[in-house]
Each structure stands twice: as C-alpha cells, then as structure tokens.
C-alpha cells in the first residue's frame, strides 16, 4: 500500500512551451558535452572514462557524450516505492499527478516573544517529530529537521536526529549526512525494515566532490533511494537568467545521476531543485522571491519531460525572521506553484527564515495551508451528483433553499476544507476569546496534539539495535577526535537523563 499524498486531477502548470523545453534539454546536453563537469574522485573518473566520457584526469574534467546521458536517464525509474516503517505510509515516488508534502528544516527554533533563534532541547526535538507524525498534511519527515539539539556533539547531531525520526514516526524519512554518518543511519533504517531517503549534493558550478561520489556509490550499492541536488545561486554560481540557471543546475544533477546509473542501472534516484536567485543589493541568496517560484516551476516541467521524479524546496524558505504575513505568503505561494507544476515532493511546512529557523507553531499553521493546496489540486468534480440538476429543480426559486437537504449534508465536507487553526468566527467570538492571534491558536492546537498523539513505538529488539548503532557511532567519532572531552562530558549528561531518549 502507499500513502495518497495530494493528487492533482488536471494538467500540471506549464510555464514553458514544448519548444522551450526542447531548447533547455538541448542546452543541458551541450553543457555536459562541451563544458563538462569536474569530478574530484579517481574512481568516478575511471568509471566515466570506461563508459565513453572524455576525461581529463589532471584537471578532473569530464565531458559526457549525449547518447550516454540519454541512456542513463532512460534507466532511471520513472516511479518507485519508498518503504516506510508502516507500509500504509509508503510512497510511490514519481507517480503521475501525486505530490507529497514534507516539512522544512532550520538550524534552530525561535522564541515566540523575542524571535531570537536558539538551539532546541531534546524534548523539543522529539516533540517536533511527534507533531510531524501526527499532522495529516505531513506525508514524510525531512532531513534534520532542526540541526541537532542541546548537549549533542556536532558529529552525532544527524544520527541523533535520524534515531528520533525512526523512533517517532512510521512515515517515510529523509536524512542528511556528515562525516559518513549515512553508514549508521542506513543501518538503523535496515534494522526497522524501511528506506531512508539520502542526499547527494554537487557543488555549483559544475563540480562533484569526493564525498558526494563516495555517497553515490554507497547508496546505490545499499539500494537506498537518494536525490541528486545542487544548490546554485542564480547570478553567482549559476547564470542570472532563469533558463540559464535551470540548465546549469540540471547539468550538475544529471552528471551525478549518470554516475549512479553506471554504478547500478535502475538505481532509485530523483532530482531536486535548490536554486535561488541572488539579492543584488546584499549579495546573499534571495529567499521568498517570485523568481524562485517561476524558476522552480520551469525546473519541474523539465524533469517531467525527463520522466525522473523531482522535488522542490523553494517553499521551505522565507526572508522573514518571524511567523508573520511575509513568511506566510512567501512560503505558501511557492508551495502552491510548485505543487501545481507537478513536483513529486514539496518541502514546505514549518520553515521561517532562510533555513536558519523553523518552529512547530508555523508547522501547524502550514498544515492548514498544505491541506488547502491539496484541496485545490483535487479540482472541481463534475458529475451527476455534483451538478445537482434534479436538486436545483426540486428546490426551485425563493423561498426554496439548499440548507436542509441531504445533498448538502453529504457533499459539503467533500467540497470544502475547514482550516483548524485559522479564525473564521465572528468579531464577537474573537473578543470573547480574548482576541487570540493566529500564533496563539496554533500553539494551542500544537499542545492539544502533543497531549493526545502517541506514535507507534519500535519493538524492543529494534530499539535495542538502534541504541547499539548509536553507541557504535559515538565510539567511532570519539576515537577519531570528532568529539572533544568537554563535548563528551556534556553529551553524557544528556544520555543519562531520566527520560532518555525522549527528553
């Protein structure tokens, strides 16, 4: 079985003509064949040379013949199952017209009174994961989602994050890696019989590092699905034009995908777009900019033509530093346009500022936004039942009305989505309730969910195996000097907490 995600019942948004798509595809092939991509890894260079690429070993430059690129793209599965801990939550990634929503991530939480970022506690981290497990619009869990929590050394933060998600959700999971942490996160996934969607990130412009090659080879050999996603900034590490940025980032991603298919034909790969335009006033990436949404829509249309699943992260980023109107419109507009453009997965809920912060209250608010987008994707059903011609004839002109009919009772919930956190009451209700802000409403809903939702626990033998894997990683990173004595001492306080691992 697979989870439904949000299903779009009409043609996807197209921002490019067929001729435009063909021109961009031709441009990608030209970049790969004429300009090439640098691979800083001897194994990759030899593998690509053996496949017919023109390889300059001294400069690490690889130029790809067009037929090899087309052949490797054709070997990519256009859709495949992603296994969750509960098979009912499995994804069929790349299924036409289906989009999965996954929350954003941020390095820190924020104080809702001062908006100052701060590191979350272990309890806050586990509560966030539990909230993600409960919310209906969250179809899977993101990498991180915060970059660790208090008292955990840098080397162990992603593994502690992965363990929290494996313990607290039965939905599909994404994960990042640092210092080869993927070796242990994949072990944890295999113990629990699930996939863990991994990340490979080329560097813009047109470069694949040694670590990314190692991950590509490892993931394909372990049969773990992974995305290849570069993160260029248009105007800095990619052309300032939207078409040029799409070409450059797609060439980077295709270079990694070609390598994966040479290692293992049919490897479960997908492509992601993390391209942002540059703020030409500050020199920083421009978050929440309409050009990002348009670029992303073009990217999704291109990868639909390649018949390779793709995802978007434009909706995870806002320029705002708080949960406000700006954060709402920037992320929701991006989520809507990329979902309409046919992205296989959209990163969205919870993000506030520039991947630097996210908060569970915004996650709750974005749950409403995501469900509204999902309802919009369903479109308008036209059938005998929905046209209601007999009913209209039966009710007739005034004084007839439709309120008390069985048709209204049976259809209104199907046709509408009723937000759970938004204010749709009267002014009198608003003042009688103490003039609550939407943030207060979201916090109250969050607290209600956390008080009642109980995730499915791991069996005892799997929980023990997870802890054994974490202990193995802890010993390894300590032996390699990645955990200092002071960090280790602080870490021991965390591990000795009476409510470990949950608080």
3: pLDDT strictly greater than 90: no
The sign of the CA dihedral 50, 259, 204, 14 is positive
Q: Is 83 helix (H, G, I), strand (E, B) or coil?
A: coil
pLDDT in tens, 455-471: 999 999 999 999 999 99
The span from the CA of 229 to the CA of 24, in Å, is 18
148's torsion region: left (phi>0), alpha (psi -120 to 50) or beta?
left
The span from the CA of 367 to the CA of 348, in Å, is 9
The span from the CA of 108 to the CA of 148, in Å, is 8
The span from the CA of 389 to the CA of 27, in Å, is 53
Residue 238 has φ and ψ, to the nearest 5°, of: -150, 160
125: pLDDT strictly greater than 80: yes
Torsion (CA) 248, 220, 310, 199 in degrees, nearest 10:
-80
Q: What is the mean pLDDT of residues 68-74?
A: 98
Q: What is the mean pLDDT of residues 41-58?
A: 98
DSSP E strand stretches across 411-464: none
User: Nearest-CA neighbor of 185 among 210, 147, 214, 156?
Assistant: 156
97's torsion region: left (phi>0), alpha (psi -120 to 50) or beta?
left
Q: Is 321 helix (H, G, I), strand (E, B) or coil?
A: coil
The span from the CA of 230 to the CA of 493, in Å, is 38
404: pLDDT strictly greater than 80: yes
| pLDDT value of position 355 | 85
Enter the pTM of the model: 0.96
CB 309 within 8 A of CB 270: yes
Contacts of 407 (CB under 8 A, 6+ apart): 385, 388, 391
CA distances from 199 to 28, 202, 215, 216, 397 (A): 22, 10, 8, 9, 60
| pLDDT value of position 369 | 97
Over 114-177, what HEC string results? CCCEECCCHHHHHHHHHHHHHCCCCCCECCCCECCCCCCCHHHHHHHHHHHHHHHCCCCEECCC
DSSP conformation letters of 246-304: HHHHHHHHHHHHHHHHHHSTT--EEEEE--EEB-TTTSSB-TT-HHHHHHHHHHHHHHH
CA distances from 268 to 222, 260, 310 (A): 11, 9, 12
Residue 110 has φ and ψ, to the nearest 5°, of: -135, 155
The mean of the pLDDT values for the chain is 96
| pLDDT value of position 354 | 86
Pairing of strands 80-82, 54-56: unpaired
Query: Could you count the other beta carbons within 10 Å of the beta carbon of residue 142?
Result: 27
| pLDDT value of position 4 | 80
| pLDDT value of position 1 | 56
Domain range summary for the chain, segments of one domain joined by + = 387-416
User: Nearest-CA neighbor of 106 among 356, 320, 327, 366?
Assistant: 356
Q: Among residues of the chain, what percentage have pLDDT more than 70?
A: 99
pLDDT in tens, 287-336: 999 999 999 999 999 999 999 999 999 999 899 999 999 999 999 999 99
| pLDDT value of position 257 | 98
Half-sphere exposure of 285 (CA within 13 A, CB side): 20
Which of the four pLDDT bands, split at 50, 70 and 90, describes residue 284? confident
How big, in percent rounded to 5, are the helix, strand and coil portions of the chain? 50, 15, 40
The span from the CA of 40 to the CA of 83, in Å, is 32
Pairing of strands 61-63, 37-39: antiparallel
> Angle between the 242-263 and 18-30 helix axes, to the nearest 10 degrees?
60
| pLDDT value of position 309 | 98
The span from the CA of 387 to the CA of 393, in Å, is 11
Which of the four pLDDT bands, split at 50, 70 and 90, describes residue 2? low
Q: Among residues of the chain, what percentage have pLDDT more than 90?
A: 97
Q: Is 185 helix (H, G, I), strand (E, B) or coil?
A: helix
């Amino acid at each position: 079985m697979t989870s439904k995600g949000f299903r779009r019942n009409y043609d996807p948004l197209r921002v490019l003509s067929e001729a435009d798509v063909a021109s961009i595809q031709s441009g990608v092939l030209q970049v790969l064949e004429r300009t090439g991509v640098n691979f800083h890894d001897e194994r990759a260079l030899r593998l690509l040379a053996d496949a017919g690429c023109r390889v300059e070993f001294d400069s690490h430059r690889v130029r790809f013949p067009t037929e090899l690129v087309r052949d490797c793209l054709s070997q990519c599965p256009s859709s495949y199952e992603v296994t969750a801990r509960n098979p009912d939550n499995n994804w069929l990634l790349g299924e036409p017209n289906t989009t999965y929503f996954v929350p954003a991530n941020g390095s820190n939480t924020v104080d809702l009174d001062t908006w100052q970022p701060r590191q979350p506690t272990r309890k806050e981290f586990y509560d966030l994961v539990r909230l993600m497990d409960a919310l209906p619009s969250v179809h899977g869990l993101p990498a991180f989602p915060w970059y660790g929590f208090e008292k955990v050394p840098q080397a162990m933060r992603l593994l502690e994050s992965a363990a929290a998600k494996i313990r607290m959700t039965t939905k599909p999971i994404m994960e990042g890696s640092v210092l080869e942490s993927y070796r242990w996160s994949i072990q944890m996934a295999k113990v629990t019989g699930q996939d863990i969607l991994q990340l490979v990130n080329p560097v813009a412009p047109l470069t694949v590092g040694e670590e990314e090659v190692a991950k590509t080879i490892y993931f394909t050999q372990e049969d773990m699905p992974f995305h290849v996603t570069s993160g260029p900034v248009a105007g800095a590490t990619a052309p300032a034009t939207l078409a040029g940025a799409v070409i450059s980032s797609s060439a980077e991603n295709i270079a990694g995908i070609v390598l994966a298919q040479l290692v293992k034909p049919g490897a479960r790969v997908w492509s992601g777009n993390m391209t942002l335009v540059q703020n030409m006033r500050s020199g920083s990436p421009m978050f929440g900019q309409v050009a990002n949404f348009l670029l992303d829509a073009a990217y999704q249309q291109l990868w639909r033509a390649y018949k390779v699943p793709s995802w978007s992260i434009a909706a995870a980023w806002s320029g705002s530093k708080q949960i406000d109107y700006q954060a709402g419109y920037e992320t929701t507009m991006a989520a809507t346009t990329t979902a309409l453009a046919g992205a296989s997965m959209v990163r969205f809920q919870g993000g506030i500022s520039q991947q630097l912060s996210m908060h569970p209250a915004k996650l709750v608010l974005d749950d409403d936004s995501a469900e509204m987008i999902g309802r919009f994707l369903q479109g308008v059903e036209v059938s005998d039942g929905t046209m209601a011609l007999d009913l209209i004839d039966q009710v007739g002109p005034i004084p007839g009305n439709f309120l008390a009919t069985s048709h209204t009772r049976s259809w209104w919930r199907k046709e509408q989505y009723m937000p759970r956190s938004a204010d749709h009451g009267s002014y009198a209700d608003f003042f009688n309730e103490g003039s609550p802000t939407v943030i207060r409403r979201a916090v109250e809903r969050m607290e209600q969910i956390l008080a009642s939702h109980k995730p499915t626990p791991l069996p005892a033998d799997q929980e023990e195996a997870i802890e054994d894997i974490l202990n193995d990683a802890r010993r390894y990173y300590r032996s390699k000097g990645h955990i200092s004595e002071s960090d280790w001492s602080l870490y021991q306080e965390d591990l000795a907490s009476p409510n470990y691992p949950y608080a």
